[in-house]
Structure 1
Amino acid sequence: MGAVEDGSVDQRDLSDGGIPARIDLLDLAAVRGFYQPPQRRRAGTLTLAEREEISRGIAAGESFRAIGRRLGRPASTISREVAKNKGRRRYRAVDADDRAWRRARRPQKCKLARNPVLRGYVAARLREDWSPEQIAGALRKRHPAGSRMRVSHETIYKSLFVQSRGVLAKELQKHLRSGRPIRRSVHNNVTGQWRSQIKDAVSIAERPAEADDRAIPGHWEGDLLLGRHWTQIATVVERATRFTVLVQVDGRDMESVTAGLSREMNLLPEQLRRSLTWDRGMELADHKTVTANTGLDVYFADPRSPWQRGTNENTNMSRVK
């Protein structure tokens, strides 16, 4: 660990991967003694030695494919490395390595926060009801690659929906055509899934009045909660007493949810199994089997109406918090 003149400690020479952060002992008080772990090079990224080989290969007039074969890297990796570091004529290994460290530092301000001119252009186009895709496409046509006046549509969406970034005003969300209050994940799609209306679904409007009065126990509200890494659990809450049943399910598919509900609800006394209200999720498409197994009459809330299952929704939110 090499000490430098200003009282800080340079850690870049310590590790096999290289650590560029410097621990300034005098600045620990300013951050109330909380030390942020030093930046480390991610496994698989280009090292300084590899960048030196790339620089020598370019100077010798070698192709990207030949350099890649010598380093055991794809030619596309070499091509991208050179392209984002000033090209063949101006590529320098040390500069490229320093630039890679700076890019990898977190947290970073987003592009719109760093560029007020670009931010103003994006905000003006949003007020004119342009979509983020149209804005990004127009910027690509008007400005060359590598220009500071380019931004992806995902960056615009994140700046709109993640208000903690403090970049675009929340009121600009009203100009988006989707009308969604949050950004939908690109992974949350129904590609390859069989989607349809729930067959013979009975509307909540037909649920007996005694369920609305909450005077007689045995009327339940249920929902399927999805967690990380494809985990899930069903919650069933009794409307009168708020008694909650957690149902372990092996998957979020119809068969798993039907089997889990049948297993857990049959553990309750028969007089406490009167009705079950669910949302329009296809995980309960086999509601007739649930009724046959448990005696619960299944009713479905209206689409996009979570307040019709307020007991369950409030229970889920309190448990999440």
Structure 2
Amino acid sequence: MYYPYFRGKQFELITIREMAPLLARKNFVPVIEPVREALGGLKKTLAAVCSGGGHAIVIVNPYHGDHQEDGTSISGLLQEGFIGSANIAAGILLRSDMTVEEVMACYRLHAAHHPVLVHAGFNAPKALATELEHDMSGLTNVFVEDHAKLLYRKHFDRSTRILVRDGFKRLRNADYPEMEEFSDLHVTCDDLGMAGFGDFLIVGDVYSEGGGPAYAVAIHLTFIDPDKDDVMYIYHFVSDTKDTPTDPAGKFAQALAKLIAKLDSGTSHILETDAVKEFRELHAKGHFPGLGYVKKLSMKHHIETLADYLD
């Protein structure tokens, strides 16, 4: 089972809404950390997930963005709009600054929302596992791999365990290599004793508000290589122009031309997903839809690629 981790920016939420039927069909469960103060887009997204018969986890105590000091409005949204819904779970983000007592207080507060623990820096796993002993068999624990190594995860081995790996190495757009390894968790999670796996898609775990001028434009596309044990790799198609903050449309055209050339080479291993078809249409029309839209297409392609692999 696949658990993609999204920060709740505009195009992340749009991606989930547009992919809701596929996510539900494949039993993929998006984890959403809301980072914007306005929750209208999140509410619309959760409604789309529910109407499609899917599931999602919403972080009620975000570490990043507008709700990092106070997540009560997120809890209120779940309470008002999704109480009693088995489709939406409250995710509790366990960071290094939380005590066992604080975790348990949040856990009890959201007992009606099927709480899921998301481990991302917490440092008292043994004490927490003792507190949760009677609930453990019915609990889902999501571990961000960089913060929860093997010994940490062993404390929760009677629960349903999900491992999230950040396969995206964030660099300046101009500095990306043409291709690099992304992850093998979709192949190895069973061997690691996990019931499922996740990632931060083609965005990565490093959070930024974004919005600065793009000196280079990069299109990130993942693919699974059957010749290399089905490991997932990622292409970075980067514009040739990298030394000026102007003309993002021209830079996108340069990056897109490289993507199309790789597709047409017949050796790319890139799956011809609906998102890739849309990249082809953009190339044929010579149209630049905006960088947020480009990121959305790359995220959709990533989900479609894993859906195809896991068929």
Q: TM-score, normalised by structure 2?
A: 0.24
**Structure with the larger RCO, 1 or 2 (CA within 8 Å, 6+ apart):** 2
Q: Which has the larger radius of gyration?
A: 1
